[in-house]
Structure 1
């Protein structure tokens, strides 16, 4: 059985575009040529790869299996090219990272600023995703690495813990709960909450917690970032659950208080997930080391919630 890399690349384009025409355009081919090559690939495999309709194409179960393999093969080819080129000019390569809200908004901008400043040949594609999508993306080869928090099932992946953080309740000065040193999450549900957008991992996580309690999350407004949430809280619009690492920073310039949560799930371990550390390109292994050794992380025990 013989595979041509251009055919695998074309197959990925068609699958991701859900269109033979769209995939052909990405590969700079005519639709007729792309269709012929896909039929030839199906013949080589002895399996149907696409369901075809007037609305476009969808991958069959066999197509989904091939898509996972094709993405992995193509990424590995790019890694080989990276490792054997650009030595005269320094580090080079491209990495795609799926990460949770805290990573994208809080520490990864600082990590990447330092990392990329000394590696002009490296490019990064950082995407915010829900935990399930992060794990699936890395497993399927759509991302080189993922950054998650809390308990995760990493079957088929390597998991590299790199720091710990905790969730805290953030309230404005003078709030009913402001004098407390710690509260249970369910106590906070008596007050209106400031939440992040529905696409954030933190919002998804909190909704799961209130489902376990059999209560709704009393949202007053949802915002796009941690700073916006803290400004709303400072103004007395509501209260919120935020990572202590970023809430601590905003407390320095805003009139807010941090209160420890008694719930065990409030303490979370952060981890990097990859298919295989040794299979990462050189720049990927260097970035993993940069995250693990980032000096800006503060352990939960060092954060005083007032």
Structure 2
């Protein structure tokens, strides 16, 4: 049996419609539903998927009795497809911004802590300094922020520094202080302050994988040779606050975030002793040669904001 020739770069051709069809098929599990989403005839959609697979010489979907499921190869290519679709959307946004007389669009990825505490005020100030810059904000955890800038999904990122180093250019941004949030009837509720040793014996409400708070607490517990009792993982400080209010566990959150969420006396906050409770946020960005003038103007405005200088 003759072997199928290896696909080469100059023989791989597809359009944006095919990429959107592939993404929709992966999400919906059926090419007919995907065709309906992007307004294609089912037969034409099925042919596009087959031609897409043929160009790479691999099966991207397993054909099942009641739908289609991504193969391992399909899952790997889906990440690239989504990046390409996002890049096209960025290109369209930039073109629209310039057509309307703006300086351009800057994609900013930021961790939730920074968004809730600092970034809204700083973006307002940046908008006053540079009204022609449009900002597309993507809220992620710290790990997701670095990945987004590394993969060029975002131009600028703001994350918590204990995540570790990166090859990207970085600048200091802001600081915050963690506090312990506890139910009113909790044994630690009446303490004037607590240490790491006080916290570790109790069930903790953690933030989802990649969040700087959870990663840092896990490292500290390991260094102390202690077990971290992460009872439940949630995706936001709002969800953490709701769990704490129902006495499901205790949690760590920035002091300013705790003030915002405690409303109606939902929980109590206790100061935490130790330098580890002070966190530093970092701005990272694409290499200067890859940054637009509007992107660098935004970075400069963020690092020179009065609130940022107070923490330097």
TM-score of the two chains, using structure 1 as the length reference: 0.66
3-state DSSP class of the match of 2:175? Answer: strand
Aligned residue number for residue 185 of structure 2: none
Q: 2:54 aligns with which of 43, 50, 54?
A: 43
Distance in 1 (CA, whole Å) between partners of 2:33 and 2:149 is 25
Q: 1:286-305, CA deviations, whole angstroms, 9 ceiling, x for partnerless residues?
A: 5444443343236668xxxx
3-state DSSP class of the match of 2:171? Answer: strand
- Is 2:274 the counterpart of 1:262? yes
1:186-201 paired onto structure 2 within 5 Å = 186-189=197-200, 195=205, 201=211
Q: 1:262-299, CA deviations, whole angstroms, 9 ceiling, x for partnerless residues?
A: 254x3433234556565456655554444433432366
Distance in 1 (CA, whole Å) between partners of 2:170 and 2:36 is 39
Q: 2:36 aligns with which of 16, 25, 38?
A: 25
- Is 2:110 the counterpart of 1:102? no
Distance in 2 (CA, whole Å) between partners of 1:19 and 1:272 is 41
After superposition, the Cα gap between the structure-2 partners of 1:112 and 1:199, relative to the gap in structure 1 and judged at 3 Å, is farther
After superposition, the Cα gap between the structure-2 partners of 1:161 and 1:261, relative to the gap in structure 1 and judged at 3 Å, is farther
3-state DSSP class of the match of 2:98? Answer: coil
1:76-91 paired onto structure 2 within 5 Å = 76-87=87-98, 89-91=100-102
After superposition, the Cα gap between the structure-2 partners of 1:270 and 1:197, relative to the gap in structure 1 and judged at 3 Å, is closer
Distance in 2 (CA, whole Å) between partners of 1:248 and 1:56 is 48
Aligned residue number for residue 158 of structure 1: 168
3-state DSSP class of the match of 1:261? Answer: coil
Name stretches of at least 5 consecutive residues in structure 1 with no aligned partner: 302-306
Distance in 2 (CA, whole Å) between partners of 1:121 and 1:52 is 47
Aligned residue number for residue 214 of structure 2: 204
Q: Is the 8 A contact 1:90 1:119 kept in 2?
A: no
3-state DSSP class of the match of 1:162? Answer: strand
TM-score of the two chains, using structure 2 as the length reference: 0.65
- Is 2:136 the counterpart of 1:124? yes
Q: How many residues align?
A: 290
After superposition, the Cα gap between the structure-2 partners of 1:71 and 1:289, relative to the gap in structure 1 and judged at 3 Å, is farther
Name stretches of at least 5 consecutive residues in structure 2 with no aligned partner: 1-9, 183-187
Aligned residue number for residue 168 of structure 1: 178
Q: Is the 8 A contact 2:20 2:85 kept in 1?
A: yes
Cα root mean square deviation, aligned: 4.9
Q: Once the 2 structures are TM-superposed, how far is the Cα of residue 54 of structure 1 from its aligned partner?
A: 3.9
Distance in 2 (CA, whole Å) between partners of 1:130 and 1:271 is 13
Aligned residue number for residue 304 of structure 1: none
Q: Is the 8 A contact 1:79 1:281 kept in 2?
A: no
Q: Once the 2 structures are TM-superposed, how far is the Cα of residue 148 of structure 1 from its aligned partner?
A: 2.2
Q: Is the 8 A contact 2:146 2:157 kept in 1?
A: yes
After superposition, the Cα gap between the structure-2 partners of 1:60 and 1:153, relative to the gap in structure 1 and judged at 3 Å, is farther
Q: Once the 2 structures are TM-superposed, how far is the Cα of residue 68 of structure 1 from its aligned partner?
A: 3.5
Distance in 2 (CA, whole Å) between partners of 1:96 and 1:23 is 28
